[in-house]
Chains A and B, each alone.
Chain A
Amino acid sequence: MTIAPPRNTGTDQQPAPSTGNAAERTRVGPYPWAMAGSIAVGVAGAALSLNGVLRGWGWYWPVFTTVLVVCFTLAALRAVRAKPLLVTAGGFLALAAALTLTFFRGSSIAGVIPTGASLAELDRLIRRASETVLSETAPVAPNVGIVMVICAVLGLAVILVDALAVPLGMPAATGAGLLAILVVPAMIKPQSVGFWGFTAAVAGYLMILACSQWFVPDARTSADSARSPGQVRRAALTGSVALIATLLVPLAVPGFDQGTFPQGSRLNPWGTSTGLNPMITLGNSLRTPAGTGRITYATNSTAPLYLRSVTVDHFDGDSWGPDDRNASRRSLGSQIDPGYTVLVDEQQPVVTAIDAGSFTSPYLPAPYPPESVRGLDGRWTWDPATLSIKGTDTTSRRQEYLVRSSVPRLTAGQLARSSAGVQGIPEDFTRIPGNVPEIVRTTASAVAGSGGTPYEKAMAIQKYLRSAEFTYSLQSPVQGGYDGNGLSVLADFLDQKSGYCIHYASAMAVMARLEGIPSRIAVGYAPGRLTGATVSVAGEGALPEYEVDARDAHAWPELYFQGLGWVPFEPTPSRGVVPDYASEALAPSAPGALENNDDLAPDATPAPAPAPSAAPLTAPGGGEGTDAGVQLLPLLLGLGGVLGVALLAAAPRLARTGIKARRLRSADAGTAAVLAWSEMVDLGTDYGLPPKPSETPRAYSSRLRESSLLGEPGGMDDAAHGAVAALTSDFERREYGPPPERAGALKEGTGRTGAAGAHQEVTGARIAALETALRAHAPALRRLRAWWVPPSVIGRLGRLLAAPFRVAGAAVVQAAKAAARFWSARWSARS
């Protein structure tokens, strides 16, 4: 190698940039740890919002540990500078180990290595989780299966967020991963994500963005722009854009809240389905913004008609549900026997024709007490104890049927006289649950203890619950954490004195039992609104038609009076209709207590309501406000939708403009040259001349100038040609030239733009000249494309989206090659 001259200092002296990079390369610094911490904050914070999807907080600890373990495994691997793929693989292994340690410790080796038995266990847990998803509605009890699934999903989210932030270099896109977590509570929980979860997720997101800026391994950009005030502004801008998007997207997407999620028809209880337990879907049904599951019925009843699906009589356990009593159920024949005799002279025969429409439930809504049901498809059974009608192989969906019932005409006097001891009904309805909270007992004795007859006691309880102490609210139980049912919920309700029908009904039912009155909770629909149509029923003529939907879902207590049967009461204020027999004679609002959702459509006040007399307890202003809200809502939704679509359509343009503005804002001349070059390449790409990877900057620039995009040099477009040449030479000097401090020492310099402030204008003018020329020479279609769907942005997005597929494709090709080698080797060995 004597060709090498002994004094060749030109190539051997490589000062600042390369050695600086090498030093930077060997020292990773706190970056991985800070990034892992940020991701942990983001994901664990977003997981906070799952409270309410899962009941309580017990599930959070395993979730938190899983997230931490995965995060810090990634960080540790990155700190020892493992390859990016290895880091991700390590993340998966850590996740598997953490899950094994938490859920399959018994069947694993050393606590962290899963075995075949763990797989069986996993299968069991997954099946359990899917059962939970299918059969329960939010908030679900945090059983092992669902917690395991949530741990796994959040661990995967950590890996996804990390992959987006670090190897793929798109920290801004990590928001998608966090948003994916937030979408679940946003869809399931009525009050959406909640403050703390959202705040923590956004904080984590901003920290990820900050980490990816402040700990750049490339000293060039960190020195130039990292701690400039623009950074903070940019972060704030990104954060607020994310915030606005989060707020707008659910508004803008129509039907976002109506079961488009996988398993949504089950998981999302606001839709048409009611699941297997009507009790716990009730609150969600009431909270649905648009009425779904519309049922229409026509009846000859003169009293407001409650449709009952099912009754709940077991008040034990965490979660109350209907007892099907499958053993004693009878197949639905021509007659339904209530099993007790009603000693009332006057019984009104009621005929009701019901069209269940899209309401889907195994329980058939029917007025109580049904005597016969005709016109049903499929096999149905009825329970002699409660008279609830349930399909064995079918649901109420699309059923049209005729129910005949006979309603005893009860009076307060009859009820007051019925003081005889209860006999002849199952013990189920009288049993006092074991662990009744103290507050329930004391309230019951305080309210009803003085009353003499069961009727007086019942009226005292109802009066207490309808008093001004209690407020009707769909939201406060959710916020107070006692949404749902059960004895503990009941205690909270009596303490907070705010809730909705399920709370009032269960309070009255439980207190009645404590006072010795047999009771149960009926679940169904409050009286509906007149549709204005009539339905002709054979033998009855034309009957007025009513409609109810999910917002009319209701629960009310039924109390048993010897000789009178099951008597419904109405303790819920502002809902349903208080029956005549249960009205306080002197209560001013008693006759007009029809305060259900009718105020949404005041014109359609049901005719059979006894003398509405327009006694508006709620202020008329409130009613009008709701009215205006109803009309405004579609408008707002539409506006939001249009806005969202417009935003979506303009997103590439906005992104492009933002990128350009950011590039031209750079303060340092050297960085500015690089950024201006990127802008020039992107402009070229937008107008149909993308660079090739094997093209040098000079080759690309000359190709750009020779193409027809810029027009002829020397003429009008000389400025653009000059701009391209200048941008190229600036970029080349910055990219391949000696570092600035060295360039000063060399005499041979081609006159760089010296003034530090002037270069921004110069660069801006060059880019503007280039863009003007490009626009002037592009055909209209290409101009439009460059403006609205710039290929430079779309291509970047496409590359990002295609990356997983590319990796997968490469893996498949590798596997295919290996298989081919294997088989060809075997083939040659055989022959």
Chain B
Amino acid sequence: MESHRRTANDVSAANRNLAGVADPVSHLNGHRPAPMDGPSFHAASERILTTINTVIDGKSDAAKLALTVLLAQGHLLLEDVPGVGKTLLAKTLARTIDCTVNRIQFTPDLLPSDVTGVSIYNQASRLFEFRPGAVFANIVIGDEINRASAKTQSALLECMEEHQVTVDGNSYRLDEPFMVVATQNPIEMEGTYPLPEAQRDRFMARISMGYPDKDSEIEMLETHQATSPLAKVSAVVATADVAAMIAAVQQVYVSQAVKEYTVSVGRATRESPLLRLGASPRSMLQLLRAAKATAALDGRDFVLPDDVVHVAEAVLAHRIILDRKAAGAGETPHSVLRGILSRLPVPHRPADAGNKAPGSTNRTTPVAGLSRNH
């Protein structure tokens, strides 16, 4: 097991500290951190993104989305072919924040207790003592999550959902902020346990890194020759700062129109003939939270429909299932979502005060009705 936890040394001190689990968690949960104000939020997010971009060339979008998920209190699934920097992105994000990081390399023989932790008998004190597993960290990197057995996967997923671990009847709160960054390899699927839909739904967003463009690749070859760029990375924000940023994101205002737009996106996926499974209500919640984080990163204190559109593909694409015919016709979840978004009317207040219908008591139903008719 130790072999799978390469960063365990860095964090062992923190883990030891977690033996008395309740302390820091209760500190964070007990009173709400004050939300960070606009300028410092902007500065902090700029620092994080700049740092990540020095390590990973030409992937600023993926980096921003990863930060978005962190601030929206979600979990991230990185899915791409080997060698495009999935793990590097996860590690860099973790490094830029002064917080505890654990990495779990998933293998078929990994046990649930390796993830959650186990109670062992202490000869000296003659007591069972809880030994926290790898999940006790602010950021948990789950590499190749589809290689572990379903049992182990679900142990992690339960932690993701509940933000707590239950072993031998005792519950242990996980640290806040808590984020799981899992990577998954879509090829070489033999002997793997692909995540079922229900579990994919727990991840707020799925990102495909994609290959870098030519210039970025040349630059990467130059800069990464001798040393790992990761070595130069140091933390640029503290854990408390991240908590404050998360609180600031929660303060972002969402107007009725944007809520209606979000809901109509979800309904459109459920009513689309191209899809066998549409987006769940939970995914609507996560979509809106990701949109709030996007708005905050953009320096706004309110959400625009643009924010929803911006994160919609990343948040929804891994949750919807194509109809067999649509898949045969060459559609992908991304193309279907793009099609839906390009047809969905954006809710407006009546454009012109002089021309609105005075008698129409509900101003958005006509729009929704139109969208269904088209």
**A positions within 8 Å CB-CB of B:** 1-5, 7-11, 14, 17-18, 21, 24-25, 28, 31-32, 35, 78, 81, 84, 165-171, 211-213, 215-218, 220-221, 224-225, 659, 662-663, 666, 671, 674-675, 677-678, 681, 693-699, 732-733, 735-738, 742-743, 746-750, 796, 810
Contacts and interface: CB of A to CB of B under 8 A. Distances in A.
Contact of A678 (B288, B301, B352, B359): B352
A695 B346 contact: yes
A37 to B, nearest CB: 15
Contact of B349 (A168, A662, A735, A747): A735
B126 interface: no
Q: Across chains A and B, which 6 residue pairs bring their CB atoms closest together, nearest first? A: A169-B357, A166-B359, A748-B38, A738-B253, A693-B345, A737-B302
A674 B353 contact: yes
A14 B260 CA distance: 13
A2 B255 CA distance: 24
Interface in B7-50: 32, 37-38, 41
16 contacts: A2-B162, A3-B161, A10-B252, A10-B254, A17-B256, A81-B361, A84-B359, A165-B359, A169-B359, A659-B354, A666-B353, A732-B304, A735-B255, A735-B257, A738-B255, A746-B301
A699 B306 contact: yes
Contact of A1 (B37, B256, B282, B341): B282
B250 A3 contact: no
B186 interface: no
B358 A17 contact: no
Given A169-B355, A218-B356, A696-B346, A25 B253 contact: no
Interface in B300-357: 300-306, 309, 341-346, 348-357
A790 B32 CA distance: 55
Contact of A2 (B161, B256, B345): B161
B251 interface: yes
A78 B361 CA distance: 10
Contacts of B202: 3
Interface in B167-215: 202
Given A678-B351, A678-B352, A693-B346, A216 B358 contact: yes
Nearest to B286: A3
A225 B353 CA distance: 10
Given A221-B356, A695-B346, A748-B41, 5 more contacts: A3-B161, A217-B360, A693-B370, A696-B306, A736-B257
A422 B161 CA distance: 121
Contacts of A738: 253, 255, 301-302
Nearest to B343: A694
A167 B255 CA distance: 26
A167 B356 CA distance: 10
Interface of B: 32, 37-38, 41, 73-74, 161-163, 202, 249-258, 282, 285-286, 288, 292, 299-306, 309, 341-346, 348-363, 367, 370, 373
Contacts of A675: 352-353
Contact of B288 (A11, A24, A212, A747): A11
Nearest to A218: B356
Contacts of A733: 302
Nearest to B292: A10
Contacts of A3: 73-74, 161, 202, 282, 285-286
A307 to B, nearest CB: 60
Contact of A10 (B38, B250, B309): B250
Main secondary structure of the interface of B (DSSP, over half): loop
Contacts of A31: 358-359
A218 to B, nearest CB: 6
Contacts of B162: 2
Contacts of B285: 1, 3-4
Contacts of A747: 37-38
A221 B353 contact: yes
Given A693-B345, A694-B345, A736-B304, A746 B358 contact: no
A2 B164 CA distance: 11
Contacts of B37: 747-748
Contacts of B345: 693-694
A7 B161 contact: no
A5 B29 CA distance: 11
A21 B256 contact: yes
Given A25-B362, A693-B346, A748-B38, A216 B253 contact: no
Given A17-B255, A693-B346, A748-B301, A7 B32 contact: yes
B72 to A, nearest CB: 10
B351 A681 contact: yes
Contact of B354 (A5, A662, A693, A748): A662
A133 B41 CA distance: 80
Contacts of B300: 748, 750
B344 A694 contact: yes
Contacts of B348: 735
A737 B255 contact: yes
Contact of A694 (B254, B346, B357): B346
Contact of A84 (B255, B257, B360): B360
A677 B346 CA distance: 15
Contacts of B344: 694
Given A10-B253, A11-B254, A735-B348, A749 B301 contact: yes
B303 A2 contact: no
A65 B282 CA distance: 57
Contact of A18 (B74, B256, B342, B356): B256
Contacts of A218: 349-350, 353, 356, 363
B51 to A, nearest CB: 24
B360 A167 contact: yes
A78 B341 CA distance: 35
Nearest to A734: B349
Contacts of A750: 299-300
Contacts of A212: 358
A236 B278 CA distance: 54
Contacts of A14: 256
A10 B358 contact: no
A736 B288 contact: no
Given A699-B306, A747-B38, A737 B253 contact: yes
A169 B306 contact: no
A59 B357 CA distance: 35
Contacts of A166: 357-360
Contacts of A170: 355
B321 to A, nearest CB: 21
B30 to A, nearest CB: 11
A365 B119 CA distance: 125
A171 B358 contact: yes
Contacts of B354: 659, 662
Nearest to B348: A735
B97 to A, nearest CB: 19
A162 B360 CA distance: 13
Nearest to B308: A696
B304 A696 contact: yes
Nearest to A729: B300
B171 to A, nearest CB: 13
Nearest to A738: B253
A293 B129 CA distance: 118
A726 to B, nearest CB: 15
Contacts of A748: 37-38, 41, 300-301
Contacts of A694: 341-346
Contacts of B353: 218, 220-221, 224-225, 666, 671, 674-675
A737 B258 CA distance: 10
Contacts of B303: 736
Contacts of A224: 353
Contacts of A697: 304-305, 346
Nearest to B248: A748
A25 B361 contact: yes
B267 to A, nearest CB: 15
B309 A696 contact: yes
Contacts of B257: 735-736
A750 B296 CA distance: 12
